[in-house]
């Protein structure tokens, strides 16, 4: 005869039923989250495109050979169980996991690694970022089914850092071959904790959890995703982000303007998470080829004539610190002992006088041989660059300069204005965890040498730093030497170390970010009541 449940069991059953009803859903109903993106990239294949924004969703679609631990700063195993580096620094040999499959069922192995790197290196695919991250890679050798060796023509300290980023995440070779470089961005297949579902440009991108995920790196706190489905929407205009949070359209969004972020966090319904971003600060590079910024005395005056601390406090409040050099303070290679000079308007005016710029008729405008001290600033339209540029221009006007400001409507227009060359200061910066990114900006042949400053000694200094052990003392000393030369030559005006103000609904739990700063660890995210 079947026994009836006892009173205690019945009470527990009723309590459980009531709890489920109070939650408004059954235990089997999938959990969903909406994440706001602040840029609609022109392309989202991380192997071929370059934006930081694409990594916010896609760093959870792809696993990488190694991962950079955001807490220890050490490289830890990913799809590679372990690796060795030859004594001459020319060969990196990776032993791969043997239990990994891509979302389409393709087996991950050494051939998959070679297919991925061939895809990036293929000049017909026009990789914008990943190809340069491989540095002097010469060839990929499949040693056996689960061992792969990367052979370089010269030592390259940033290689592990490069391999830890989404731009070199491992994609299914089957999908790459099926869709090709044009259509793969709409059919992406990785091995990560989330599967790519759909991408509609300028509208949304959708991910779903990977139920088979069982090979996560140690930087993850969860073994499997806690949220079943994540939809990403685009909010390019900063004024729309707080409204999207308040209306419930999104659960999380970054780059929220300071006052909105503070107001929302004080309401008790939202959480503000300031996320420091490694790499370069918000900065303006001086054009050393165009007068009057071709004169180092003028450049030095323009640095000392700007109250950077006041600008940072005005635009970014307590969540950012004043930039002190060509790298942000949290970046490997930052040189705290080589700070740029603080605000000193008297010293700035003396430097301009020494450079031959005087205000003889006391009308507030400095001239030299009858010509005014004219300065043209070009600023990008993102990251509060326009606001900062306006304030910088105001300080330069107080020194007696005639200042004009031009805002570029995107990276393409910014590059066009730079190519024309008619600027004295231009805003541009890259993010990254390895200081080798400076080579693109300050080597004589650097792709982003927008200062036009050429110095063989700096070229050699940055090249040699790129060929030393990743975080060895000799390498750090070279970056300190470079910071000193950049300061003494007054090549840039560093303003603010980047901090991403991320605001999330109070129901979001365990929001953490990768070592690169921009990318959330989606697998760890949870939702509360």
Using CB atoms within 10 Å of the CB of residue 361, give its burial: 0 to 12 exposed, 13 to 18 middle, 19+ buried.
exposed
Q: What CA–CA distance (Å, rounded) separates 204 from 209?
A: 17
Residue 431 is classified by DSSP as B
Residues with Cβ within 8 Å of residue 83, at least 6 apart in sequence: 65, 66, 92, 93, 94, 95
Report the pLDDT value the prediction gives residue 41, as an integer from 0 to 100.
85
Which DSSP string do the residues of 230-256 spell out, in sequence order? Answer: EEEEE--STHHHHHHHHHTS-SEES--
Residues 175 and 249 in one domain: yes
> Is residue 52 predicted with pLDDT exceeding 60?
yes
Q: What is the pLDDT of residue 28?
A: 56
CATH number for the domain harbouring residue 133: 3.40.190.10
Q: What is the pLDDT of residues 283-311, one digit of tens each?
A: 999 999 999 999 999 999 999 999 999 99
pLDDT of residue 2: 34
pLDDT of amino acid 278 = 96
Residues 444 and 521 in one domain: no
CA-to-CA distance for 447 and 450, rounded, in angstroms? 8
**267 and 287 belong to one structural domain:** no
| DSSP symbol at 417 | H
Is it the case that residue 25 has pLDDT exceeding 60? no
> SS3 breakdown of the chain: % helix, strand, coil, rounded to 5?
35, 20, 45
For 351-368, write each residue's pLDDT tens digit. Answer: 999 999 999 888 999 999
Parallel, antiparallel, or unpaired for β 32-37 and 229-234?
Answer: parallel
Residues 182 and 312 both lie in one domain? no
Query: 499 has which bridge partners?
Result: 276
Residue 409 has pLDDT above 70, yes or no: yes
pLDDT value at residue 215: 98
Question: Which strands, in side-by-side order, build the sheet including 270-276?
Answer: 194-200, 204-209, 229-234, 32-37, 252-253, 499-505, 270-276
The reply to whether 286 and 214 lie within a common domain is: no
Same-domain pairing of 309 and 352 = yes
Q: How does strand 32-37 pair with strand 252-253?
A: parallel
Write out pLDDT tens, residues 129-165.
999 999 999 999 999 999 999 999 999 999 999 999 9
Nearest to 85 by CA among 132, 162, 152: 152
SS (H, E, C) 9-27: HHHHHHHHHHHHHHHCCCC
Query: Is 364 in the same domain as 391?
Result: yes
Q: Does residue 195 lie within any of the structural domains? A: yes
Q: What is the mean pLDDT of residues 491-520?
A: 97
For the stretch 388-401, pLDDT in tens is 999 999 999 999 99
Point out which residues pair with 122 in neighbouring strands.
none
| Number of structural domains in the chain | 2
In a domain, 25, yes or no: no
**Prior bond of 425 cis (ω within 30°):** no
- Where residue 505 falls (left for φ over 0; alpha for ψ -120 to 50; beta otherwise) is beta
Q: Identify the CA nearest to 381 among candidates 404, 409, 406.
A: 409
- Domain-embedded: residue 27: no
Distance CA(489)–CA(246), nearest Å, equals 48
pTM metric for this prediction: 0.89
Average pLDDT of span 426-448:
94
Q: Which two tokens stand for residue 124?
A: 């017909």
158-204, pLDDT tens digit by residue?
Answer: 999 999 999 999 999 999 999 999 999 999 999 999 999 999 999 99
Q: What is the pLDDT of residue 154?
A: 96
d(CA 77, CA 94): 10
Q: Is the pLDDT of residue 15 over 70?
A: no
User: In degrees to the nearest 10, what's the CA dihedral of 51, 52, 57, 61?
Assistant: 80
Residue 5 included in any domain: no
How many CB atoms are closer than 10 A to CB 203?
A: 11
Residue 37 maps to a domain: yes
177 and 310 share one domain? no
DSSP 468: S
In the predicted model, is pLDDT for residue 83 greater than 90?
yes
Q: Which domain holds residue 177?
A: 33-275+501-527
d(Cα 527, Cα 529) in Å, to the nearest integer?
7
Per-position DSSP letters for 348-399, written without gaps between them: HHHHHHHTT-B-TT-SS--EETTEE-EEEEEEESSTTHHHHHHHHHHHHHHT
For residue 371, which phi and psi values (nearest 5 degrees)? -95, 135
% of residues, the chain, pLDDT over 70: 95
Examine the domain organization and report whether 514 and 458 are in the same domain.
no
pLDDT class of 451 with cuts at 50, 70, 90: very high
Tell me which DSSP letter residue 120 carries.
Answer: H
User: What pLDDT, on the 0 to 100 scale, is given for residue 99?
Assistant: 97
Q: Is the pLDDT of residue 1 over 60?
A: no
In a domain, 95, yes or no: yes
Give the CATH number of the domain where residue 430 resides. 3.10.105.10
Same domain, 85 and 57: yes
- pLDDT digit string, tens, across residues 203-247: 999 999 999 999 999 999 999 999 999 999 999 999 999 999 999
Does the pLDDT value for residue 517 go beyond 90? yes
pLDDT tier at 106, thresholds 50, 70, 90: very high
Residue 117 lies in a domain: yes
Identify the band that residue 79 occupies on the pLDDT scale cut at 50, 70 and 90: very high
Same domain, 219 and 343: no
Kindly state whether residues 385 and 314 are assigned to the same domain.
yes
Domain for residue 250, yes or no? yes
């Amino acid at each position: 005869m079947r026994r009836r449940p006892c009173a205690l069991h019945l009470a527990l059953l009723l309590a459980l039923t009531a709890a489920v009803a109070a939650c408004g859903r059954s235990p089997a109903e999938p959990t969903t989250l909406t994440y706001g993106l602040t840029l609609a990239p022109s392309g989202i294949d991380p192997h071929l495109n370059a934006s930081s924004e694409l990594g916010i969703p896609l760093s959870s679609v792809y696993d990488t050979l190694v991962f950079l631990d955001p807490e220890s700063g050490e490289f830890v195993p990913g799809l590679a169980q372990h690796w060795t580096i030859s004594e001459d620094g020319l060969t990196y040999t990776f032993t791969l996991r043997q239990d990994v499959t891509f979302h389409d069922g393709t087996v991950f192995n050494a051939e998959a690694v070679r297919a991925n790197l061939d895809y990036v290196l293929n000049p017909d695919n026009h990789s914008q970022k990943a190809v340069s991250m491989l540095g002097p890679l010469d060839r990929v050798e499949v040693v056996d089914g689960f061992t792969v060796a990367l052979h370089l023509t010269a030592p390259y300290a940033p290689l592990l850092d490069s391999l830890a980023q989404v731009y070199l995440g491992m994609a299914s070779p089957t999908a790459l071959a099926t869709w090709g470089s044009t259509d793969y961005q709409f059919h992406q297949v990785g091995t990560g904790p989330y599967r790519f579902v759909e991408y509609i440009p300028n509208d949304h991108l959708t991910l779903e959890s990977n139920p088979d995920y069982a090979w996560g790196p140690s930087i993850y706190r969860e073994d499997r995703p806690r949220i079943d489905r994540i939809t990403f929407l685009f909010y390019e205009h900063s004024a729309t982000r707080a409204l999207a949070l308040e209306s419930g359209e999104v659960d999380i969004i970054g780059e929220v303007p300071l006052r909105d972020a503070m107001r929302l966090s004080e309401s008790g319904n939202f959480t503000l998470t300031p996320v420091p971003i490694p790499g370069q600060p918000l900065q303006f590079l001086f054009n050393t080829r165009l007068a009057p910024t071709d004169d180092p005395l003028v450049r030095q005056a323009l640095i000392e004539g700007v109250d950077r601390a006041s600008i940072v406090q005005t635009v970014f409040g307590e969540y950012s610190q004043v930039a002190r050099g060509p790298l942000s303070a949290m970046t490997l290679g930052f040189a705290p002992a080589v700070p740029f000079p603080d605000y000193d308007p008297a010293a700035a005016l003396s430097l301009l006088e020494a450079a031959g710029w005087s205000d003889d008729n006391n009308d507030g405008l400095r001239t030299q041989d009858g010509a005014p001290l004219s300065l043209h600033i070009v600023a990008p339209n993102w990251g509060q660059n326009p606001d900062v540029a306006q304030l910088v221009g105001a300080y330069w006007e107080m020194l007696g300069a005639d200042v004009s400001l031009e805002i570029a409507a995107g990276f393409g227009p910014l590059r066009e204005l730079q190519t024309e060359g008619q600027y004295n200061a231009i805003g541009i910066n890259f993010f990254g965890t390895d200081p080798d990114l400076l080579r693109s900006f300050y080597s004589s042949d650097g792709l982003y040498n927008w200062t036009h400053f050429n110095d063989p000694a700096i070229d050699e200094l940055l090249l040699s730093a790129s060929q030393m052990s990743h975080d060895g003392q000799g390498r750090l000393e070279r970056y300190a030497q470079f910071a000193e030369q950049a300061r003494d030559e007054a090549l840039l005006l560093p303003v603010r170390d980047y901090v991403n103000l991320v605001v999330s609904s109070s129901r979001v739990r365990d929001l953490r970010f990768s070592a690169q700063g921009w990318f959330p660890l989606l697998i760890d995210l949870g939702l509360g009541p």
